[in-house]
Amino acid sequence: MTHILHIDASARPGIAGTDNHGSHSRHLSHRFVHQWQLSCPQDTVTYRDIGQNPPSIINHDWIASAFTPEERLEPWMKEALAESDHLVDELIAADIVVIGTPLYNFGMPAALKAWIDQVVRAGRTVEFDDTNPIDPFVPKLTDRERHAVVLTARGGVNMAPGEEMAHMNHLEPHLATALGFIGITRLHYIAIEGQEVGGELLAASVAEAVGKVESLVGELQVAFQDAPSPEPA
C-alpha cells in the first residue's frame, strides 16, 4: 500500500477552475491525489496545507536543540523540536511527496521554505560523517524508494530548465537540492505557466499540465506495483 504526503503551499486557499482567485498549483496537486485514489482507493494520504497553516520559522531554541545529542535533550528542547518531529515523521512515512507550490519572486513561498527548514534535520533526515570532511553529509531517507512530485504554477513563461527564462526560476532547483540532500532524488516536475498573461496561453498550459499529471499518476502506480515488496523483519 502506497502512502502519499500531500502538501499545498499556495497563499490562495481555493482551487483554480472552481473558486474565484483559486490556486493553480492546488488544482494540480488535488488532481494528482484524486486521480491516484480513483485507481488505488486503498492507498492513504496525509494532507498538510502549509499555505494556510505555515510551519514555524526556526529560531535560536530550535537550532540549539536540533544540534544537541538526543540523550542530552532537556524538556524545553524537546518542546522546541516537537513540531519538527511531527513534520519529519510525516515525511518519513511517505512513499510519494506531492508538493503543490507557486513560484513567488523567483523561488519558493516562505511557508514552503519554513517546511524545508523543519524537515532537513541533523540526526533525523541527514547524518554527519566526521571521517569525510570534504562531503560529510549522509542522507537518511534512503531506506526505500521515495518520489517527490513538484507541481508548480508560474506567472511567467519559458522558465523550465534550458528555456530562455530558466535563470529566474530558483524554485525547482532549490527543492531538488534540499530533497536530494536528505535522500529523495526521484523528482517529477509539472508546471502551469502564463498566469500573468492569462487567456489562451494560460488555458493551454493548464490543459497540458493536467494531462501530464494524469499520465504521471499512471506511470507511478505501475512503478509502485512493480516494485519489490520489502523483506519481512
CB-CB contact of 141 with 90 (8 Å)? no
Three-class DSSP labels, 18-85: CCCCCEHHHHHHHHHHHHHHHHCCCCEEEEEECCCCCCCCCCHHHHHHHCCCHHHCCHHHHHHCHHHH
Per the annotation, does 34 bind a ligand? no
CB-CB contact of 44 with 96 (8 Å)? no
Q: Name the DSSP class of 228.
A: P
Q: Which single residue is written with the C-alpha cell 531538488?
A: 176
Q: In this structure, is the dihedral angle defined by the CA atoms of residues 137, 139, 140 and 143, taken in order, positive or negative?
A: negative
CB-CB contact of 50 with 111 (8 Å)? yes
CB-CB contact of 13 with 3 (8 Å)? no
Per the annotation, does 10 bind a ligand? yes
Per the annotation, does 24 bind a ligand? yes
Give the separation between CA 83 and CA 104, rounded to whole angstroms: 25
Per the annotation, does 25 bind a ligand? yes
Cβ-count burial of 105 within 10 angstroms (0-12 exposed, 13-18 middle, 19+ buried)?
exposed
> Which residue ranges are tagged as binding site for FMN?
10, 23-25
Annotated binding-site members: 10, 23-25
